[in-house]
Amino acid sequence: MLSPYRVLDLTTERGLLCGQILGDLGADVVAIEPPGGCPARRLGPFAGDVPDPDRSLVWWAYSRNKRSVTLDVTTPVGRDLLLGLAAEAHFLIESYDPGFLASHGLGPDDLARVNPRLIVVSITPFGQTGPKANYADSDLVILAAGGPLVLTGDDDRAPVRLCVPQAYLHASADAALGALIAHHERARSGRGQHVDVSAQQSVALATQSYILAAALGAPEVRRTAGGLKSWHLTMRLLYPASDGWVAITFLFGSAIGPFSRRLMHWIHAEGGCDLATRDKDWIAYTQLLLDGREPVEEFERVKRVIEAFTRTRTKAELLRASLEHSLLIAPVATLADVVASPQLAARDYWQSVERPDGAGAMRSPGPFAKFSAQPLRYEHRPPRLGEHTDEILGGELGLPDEELAMLRREGVI
Amino acid sequence: MAALDGVKILDLMWVMAGPAGTRILADYGATVVRIESTKRIDTARTLAPFFGGTIGTEQSGCFQNLNLGKRLLTLDPANPAGREVFLDLVRWADVVTESFKPGTMAKWNLGWDVLRGAKPDLIMLSSCLMGQTGPLASFAGYGNLAAAISGFSNLGGWPDRPPAGPFSAYTDYVAPRYIAIAILAALDHKRRTGEGQHIDLSQAEASLHFLGPALLDYAVNDRVAGRVGNRDRDIAPNGAYAAAGDDRWVAISAATDAQWSALCTAIGRDDLRTDPALATASGRLAAQDTLDAAIAAWTASRDMHDVERVLQAAGVPAHAVQNSRELLADPQLLHRRHFVAVTHPERDSVTLEGTRFHLSRTPAEIESSAPTYGRDNEWVLKDLLGYDDDRITELVVAGALE
C-alpha cells in the first residue's frame, strides 16, 4: 500500500518496530546500521542461544521487510552518503539520543536542506527537549515515568512490568502513526516536517486514563495482581481454573453489569451459588458498594463464590460457556496456547518467514490487519548485517566498486 | 491548516481501542462524527476515573479522554429512519469505522457490501477482539480478555505467584495505533488509486506484534516465556526499589558497565564497583539478589524523587514510579504539554491528555471536549447533512435519534 515510498531506518532498539510497520505496508525500508551493527542485534534471546549479530531474535522480530546497509554516519563521507540517500527518500526514522544526529550535521534542518519533502521521525525516551530530555532510560524506567508501572503488580510487592520490553513498542507504533499523519499532510503541502515521539508519553496510553485521576478529582487507583483497587474496593479480573487461569470482566454498571448478571445466572444454574447471590443488582452494584447498602465483605464473599466455581472448570470449558452464554471469560494463555489457537489457525495468521541464518523458516506473527485491496506483504526476511550495502550504495547510489572497497577498508561501511 | 484537515470519519466504534485510535486522528484535524445510540450506552461512559469520583454517563474521564475533539450524533442505526440518516453520513464520509461484534452491521443491513454500494470508494475498518472470521469471531468482550487470550496477562508478575498481567485492558492500548495506521495507509492507497477497501483488524492479532521476540523464542528455540518479576534478560540490576514513604518506589536499571560503575559510586558501594565478578553484565545477572539488596538498602530511607535526581545526574537510568498526582506535576510532561484544559458543555473546563507526539509544522489542535449526548445533533443534521427542521422532527418522532 505504501510501495512508492522509501524509508531510511536509522533506529536502534528503541525504534525498530516503526520501520517494520511501514515495511509491512509495502514501503521500501532501508536499515542504515553502524558498521558494528544496530545495537538491537546485541540483544537476546538469540537463535540457538548463540550470541551473534545475525542471530538476535529482537532483530529478527522487528526487521522483516527491511534491507540492511552499513554506514558510519559519524564520518564525513558517511554523512554525505546518507544525505545522498536522504535526498531521494520519503521518510527518515531515528532513535538516537536527542541532538546526536544534529551534532554530526544530520539534524532535521540539515536533512530538510537536501530534501524539504522529507519526513524525519525521532523516537526518544522523553522527547527532543525538556528537563528530562537527556535522562538515561530503560524499559522499566520509561514505564515508571509514564504511569503504567504504578498500576501493575501484587499489592505486597514492588510494581512489576511484563517479562518482555514494551515501552519502545508503544513509542515505535506512535512513530509510524505520526509519520503517516505528516505524510498525509505532505500530499497537500509538498513539505516534510519533524515528528517528535516521547516514549514516556506513548506508554501513558496504557494507564486507561487513570493518569487523569488527580486532574479529575477522582481517587487514585492502586495495584493488585490481576485487578485494581479503587475507592475501598478490590476489583478482581483474574480467577483460577482447574488447569490455569482465566480472565473475567466481573465489573458492573449499565454496560458491563448485564454480563455479570448472566455469569451469576450460569453459576447458579450449575449449582455454584444460591438465588440471593445470583439476584443482586449487578447494574447498580458499584454504587451499592460505594454508599454502603452492600457491605464490602459481601462483595468479597461473591468473589470467593466465583473462584470456588471456576476452580472446578477447565479454561476450555470456561471459554465454551463464555461463548454459549455471552459471558466475559477468556483463558489466560501461555505463548504455547497462543500458537496453538484454532482461531489464529482458521484465519491463517502465522506467516512462515525465512530465517536469516539459512536454517529454514520460522513461524512469525502475521499481518496486523487484513486489507481487502492489498494484503500486507511479507516479502523480505530480516537482513543480515550489511547484506544490501553493495546493492544500495553501489547499485542505486552509483558508487563504483573501487570506492566501495575503499570505504570498506576505512571502516565506513 | 491541520494535518488531517478534510479527512471525514464516520465512527461507530465504542469502548476503548477503537475510539482511542480515531481520537489521535481528531487531534490532527480529521472530522470524526461518532454515532452513539442512547439505547446502548457506550461502555466507556461507565468507566472510571469519574469527575469528582461520581459515577454517571457524562461523568467518565475515560470516555472524555478517548473522544476529545469528536462530534456526536445520537442515532439508532437499527431504526429504519435512523438507517437512512446513517447512509447519508456514509456518502459524506471517507472512512467508516465500527467495532461491534462481527455480524452486527450486517444485521442492520449495513454491512460492507451495502455501504460500498452507497459509496463505491469507501474505506471501512472493522475492529474487534478476534477478527471478523474464525471460530472465535463472535467472542466479544474487552481488552482484558484479549490480553489474556493473546498471552500478555500470563507474562506479567512474579514466578512464585499467580499472573498479575499488564494493567487492565492492555490490548486496548496497543491496537489504537494499528487502527489509525491502517486508516491512513488506506487513505493513501485511495488517493493514488481511487480504490476504497475493507479492513478487518483483530485487536488480538495486531497486539501480538508486541510479543514478537518472545514468540520467535518459542518458534526458534522452543522456549515458552514465563513471569520473571522485573528481571531482564540482558540488564542487571533492573528493578523497582522501595523508597521512603508508604508504597513509594523507584525504578533503577544499569544497562552498561559504565552505568553499573556510576550506580555503585552513587550508592557508596565501592566494594561492588571494584568486584571483578560484577564487572560484566553476565556477572551481574548471576548475582542479582545481592545487587538488589544493596540498592534497596540505599533507597529505603530516601525520597524517590531524590533517588531519581541523584542517579540520573550520575547517568544511571532511574525514575520515581509515578502515580497520577506526580504525573500531573511531572516537569517533562508539563514541558511536552501532555495535559490540556479544554472547554466542556457542563463544566468550565476539563483537564485531559493532549497529543502523545509532536509534529513540528502542523501541530495537533485540541480545543473541545468529548461530546455530551445531543451536543452536536443539530450541527451534524443541519450543517453536515443539510436537513431542514421538518426532516429532523420526523426523525425525532420516528425514534431515530435515540
Q: What is the pLDDT of residue B118?
A: 97
Q: Between chains, do A337 and B151 touch, taking CB under 8 Å as contact?
A: yes
Give the tens place of pLDDT for each residue, B158-170: 999 999 999 999 9
Q: What is the pLDDT of residue B343?
A: 87
Q: Read out DSSP for B276-330? A: GGGSSHHHHHTTHHHHHHHHHHHHTTS-HHHHHHHHHHTT--EEE---HHHHHH-
Q: What is the pLDDT of residue B2?
A: 96
Mutate to test the interface with B, among A141, A149, A285, A311 (most CBs of B within 10 A): A141
Q: Is 90 exceeded by the pLDDT of residue A165?
A: yes
Closest listed residue to residue A60, CA positions, set A20, A21, A22, A32: A20
Q: Between chains, do A201 and B338 touch, taking CB under 8 Å as contact?
A: yes
Give the tens place of pLDDT for each residue, A191-200: 999 999 999 9
Task: Please identify which residue in the block is written with the cell numbers 463464590.
Answer: A305
Q: Read out DSSP for B59-96? A: -BHHHHHHHTT-EEEE--TTSHHHHHHHHHHHHH-SEE
Q: What is the mean pLDDT of residues B256-263?
A: 98
CA distance A202 to chain B (A): 6
Rounded CA gap, B80 and B261, in Å?
71
Would an 8 Å CB–CB cutoff place A139 in contact with chain B?
A: yes
Q: Is 90 exceeded by the pLDDT of residue A280?
A: yes
Q: Between chains, do B154 and A333 touch, taking CB under 8 Å as contact?
A: yes
Q: What is the mean pLDDT of residues A137-142?
A: 98
What is the DSSP pairing of strand B347-353 with strand A119-124? unpaired
Q: Which of residues 378-397 of B touch A (CB under 8 A)?
A: none
Q: Between chains, do B170 and A48 touch, taking CB under 8 Å as contact?
A: no
Q: What is the pLDDT of residue B300?
A: 98
Model ipTM over 0.95: yes
Would an 8 Å CB–CB cutoff place A102 in contact with chain B?
A: no
Q: What is the pLDDT of residue A85?
A: 97
Q: What is the pLDDT of residue B348?
A: 80
Would an 8 Å CB–CB cutoff place A1 in contact with chain B?
A: yes
Give the tens place of pLDDT for each residue, A235-276: 999 999 999 999 999 999 988 999 999 999 999 999 999 999
Q: Is 90 exceeded by the pLDDT of residue B374?
A: no
Q: Which residues contact A373 (CB under 8 A, 6 or more apart)?
A: A1, B186, B189, B193, B195, B196, B197
Would an 8 Å CB–CB cutoff place A215 in contact with chain B?
A: yes
Contact between A96 and A408 (Cβ < 8 Å) = no
Would an 8 Å CB–CB cutoff place A370 in contact with chain B?
A: yes
Q: What is the pLDDT of residue B367?
A: 84
First and final C-alpha spacing in chain A: 31
Q: Between chains, do A334 and B133 touch, taking CB under 8 Å as contact?
A: no
Nearest to A197 among B1, B16, B357 (CB): B357
Active site residues of B: 172
Q: Between chains, do B167 and A228 touch, taking CB under 8 Å as contact?
A: yes
Q: Which of residues 99-158 of B touch A (CB under 8 A)?
A: 125, 130-131, 133-142, 144-158
Cα A272 to the chain's mean position, in Å? 40
Nearest to A141 among B215, B234, B317 (CB): B317
Give the tens place of pLDDT for each residue, B297-356: 999 999 999 999 999 999 999 999 999 999 999 999 999 999 999 988 888 889 999 999
Task: With beta carbons under 8 A apart, name residues in chain B contacting A214.
Answer: 323-325, 327-328
What is the DSSP pairing of strand B95-98 with strand B357-359? unpaired
Q: Between chains, do A61 and B176 touch, taking CB under 8 Å as contact?
A: no
Nearest to B240 among A159, A185, A362 (CB): A159
Q: Between chains, do A225 and B42 touch, taking CB under 8 Å as contact?
A: no
Q: Which of residues 283-342 of A touch B (CB under 8 A)?
A: 286-287, 290, 322-323, 326, 328-339, 341-342
Give the tens place of pLDDT for each residue, B100-134: 999 999 999 999 999 999 999 999 999 999 999 99
* Confidence category of residue B218, pLDDT binned at 50, 70, 90: very high
Give the tens place of pLDDT for each residue, A357-382: 999 999 999 999 999 999 999 999 99
Q: Which of residues 249-308 of B touch A (CB under 8 A)?
A: 249-253, 255, 259
Q: What is the mean pLDDT of residues B257-281?
A: 97
Q: What is the pLDDT of residue A108?
A: 97
Q: Between chains, do B149 and A255 touch, taking CB under 8 Å as contact?
A: no
Task: With beta carbons under 8 A apart, name residues in chain B contacting A254.
Answer: 41, 46, 57
* Confidence category of residue B368, pLDDT binned at 50, 70, 90: confident
What average pLDDT is seen over chain A?
Answer: 97
Q: What is the mean pLDDT of residues A164-173?
A: 97
Task: With beta carbons under 8 A apart, name residues in chain B contacting A151.
Answer: 167-168
pLDDT above 90 as % of chain B: 94
Q: What is the pLDDT of residue B140?
A: 86
pLDDT above 70 as % of chain B: 100
Nearest to A216 among B51, B155, B209 (CB): B51
Rounded CA gap, B165 and A163, in Å?
10
Q: Is 90 exceeded by the pLDDT of residue A227?
A: yes
| Run of H or E including A181 | helix A167-189
Taking phi over 0 as left and psi of -120 to 50 as alpha, with beta for the rest, A93 belongs to beta
Contact between A126 and A204 (Cβ < 8 Å) = no
Radius of gyration of chain A (CA): 26
Would an 8 Å CB–CB cutoff place A131 in contact with chain B?
A: yes
Mutate to test the interface with B, among A338, A364, A381 (most CBs of B within 10 A): A338
